[in-house]
Amino acid sequence: MKLKIVQAGDPVLRKQSRALTKKEISSASIQYLIELMRNTMREAPGVGLAAPQIGQSIQLAVIEDRTEYIADHSADALAKYQRSSVPFHVIINPKLSVVGDSSVQFFEGCLSVEGFQAVVNRALRVRVDCLNERGEEVKIKAQGWYARILQHEIDHLHGTLYIDRMNSRTLSTSENMFRFWKNQSIEQVLAELE
């Protein structure tokens, strides 16, 4: 079963989500929701899905950057964006901390802003303290693309979309992003559009 992904303009995407209790996390309804969210994310396909994106204002997100998603990328591109596969996992009630002051700009899209992408500046390294699907405390240290995914999904839990952080001059349909900018560096894209 696939859940409906809500689109920008739905008020649930702009609300602060509520934290889950450990009792709620272990409930059959939340465990089933996690399974449905995983299926929905994979079918979309996406690398993350936050509960507000399926109409639930709770602090829960699923993340997975599958090997097949990066198979067509060159080794240089993967190294440049510090991207590698990330196994499926769940983050609940996350607290994000930026590590260091390095950041990186890259095109970002969202399943709830379907058909568009824009350049977003994100911290290069983060730490996330959260609970997993069993209610256990987890500490995640991430950098590069994985750090970007975490920041994007945690933003959803606080009512923030990537369009709130984007360089507005770079907003593009996904089709035009691939048509005009796929083989350009972010520096070249910004120079062309500024």
pLDDT reported for residue 153: 98
pLDDT category at 167 given cuts 50, 70, 90 is very high
pLDDT reported for residue 80: 84
Task: Say if residue 183's pLDDT is above 90.
Answer: no
Residue 187 falls in the annotated catalytic set? no
- Residue 36 included in any domain: yes
**Cβ contact 91:69 at 8 Å:** no
The CATH number of the domain holding residue 152 is 3.90.45.10
pLDDT category at 163 given cuts 50, 70, 90 is very high
- Residue 185 included in any domain: no
pLDDT category at 107 given cuts 50, 70, 90 is very high
- Residue 170 included in any domain: no
Coil/strand/helix, residue 186: helix
The number of folded domains in the chain is 1
Q: What is the residue range of 141's domain? A: 11-106+122-161
- Residue 145 included in any domain: yes
E-state strands within the chain? 48-50, 60-65, 86-98, 103-109, 116-123, 125-131, 137-143, 172-173
- C-alpha to C-alpha distance for 190 and 140, rounded to whole angstroms: 32
Top-confidence residue, 28 or 1: 28
- C-alpha to C-alpha distance for 96 and 109, rounded to whole angstroms: 20
pLDDT reported for residue 182: 85
The reported pTM is: 0.95
- Residue 97 included in any domain: yes
Q: Which of 64, 153, 175, 187 is catalytic?
A: 153
- Residue 179 included in any domain: no
Backbone angles phi, psi at 88, to 5 degrees: -60, 135
Which pLDDT tens digit goes with each residue over 31-48? 999 999 999 999 999 999
- Residue 92 included in any domain: yes
Q: What is the 3-state secondary structure (H, E, C) of 125-178?
A: EEEEEEECCCCCEEEEEEEHHHHHHHHHHHHHHCCCCHHHCECHHHCEEHHHHH
- Residue 89 included in any domain: yes
